[in-house]
């Protein structure tokens, strides 16, 4: 292209064109790389799926589960957010609606007719020192464990 104007403007325009060409080339390469990796991933998953299905068909369930764990399907299974059903059976995934469902559920549980109206709270009393059992030293416990180990060793040698 032939630019009219001073040399500084021409330099800026050429630099902008190079940037645009570079971005376009980068996007082209990025898309090409994404297509190649998606294709490779699909092929790998197809081969793995076929292997798992073969293990299932031949009733080698231990190998099937081992292969599934290797791929990582077992771990991902527990992280799903499936939502919560409301009283009408509709699944809700919005956090505010889920909190409202739980609030209603708790209210229903605690507002049942057979609940006592007044709960009696017992007063705290100081514990009598004379009612406690004997104090056991840590050294005594360690010594007893060592003695048990010695007895077990003697029994195994007989």
CB atoms within 10 A of CB 52: 19
| Conformational region of residue 16, where left means phi above 0, alpha means psi within -120 to 50, and beta covers everything else | alpha
Instruction: Give the per-residue pLDDT at 79.
Output: 47
Torsion angle, alpha carbons of 86, 88, 94, 100, to 10: -50
pTM exceeds 0.75: no
Instruction: Give the per-residue pLDDT at 36.
Output: 92
Helix (H, G, I), strand (E, B) or coil at 105: helix
Please report, in tens digits, the pLDDT of each residue of the chain (158 residues total).
Answer: 555 557 777 777 777 787 888 888 888 889 999 999 999 988 988 888 888 888 888 888 888 888 888 777 545 555 455 677 777 878 877 888 888 888 888 888 777 676 666 667 777 777 666 666 666 677 788 888 888 877 766 666 65
For residue 54, CA distances in Å to 6, 35, 36, 45, 122 come to 72, 28, 27, 14, 65
């Amino acid at each position: 292209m032939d630019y009219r104007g001073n040399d500084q403007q021409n330099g800026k325009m050429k630099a902008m064109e190079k940037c645009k060409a570079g971005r376009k080339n980068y996007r082209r390469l990025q898309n090409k790389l994404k297509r190649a990796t998606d294709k490779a991933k699909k092929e790998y998953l197809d081969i793995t799926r076929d292997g798992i299905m073969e293990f299932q068909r031949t009733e080698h369930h231990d190998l099937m589960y081992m292969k599934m764990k290797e791929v990582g399907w077992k771990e991902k299974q527990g992280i799903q957010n499936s939502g919560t059903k409301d009283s009408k059976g509709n699944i809700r995934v919005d956090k505010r609606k889920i909190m409202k469902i739980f609030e209603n559920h708790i209210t229903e549980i605690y507002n049942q007719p057979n609940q006592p109206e007044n709960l009696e709270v017992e007063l705290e009393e100081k514990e009598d020192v004379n009612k406690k059992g004997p104090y056991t030293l840590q050294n005594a416990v360690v010594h007893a464990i060592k003695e048990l180990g010695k007895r077990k060793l003697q029994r195994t040698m007989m």
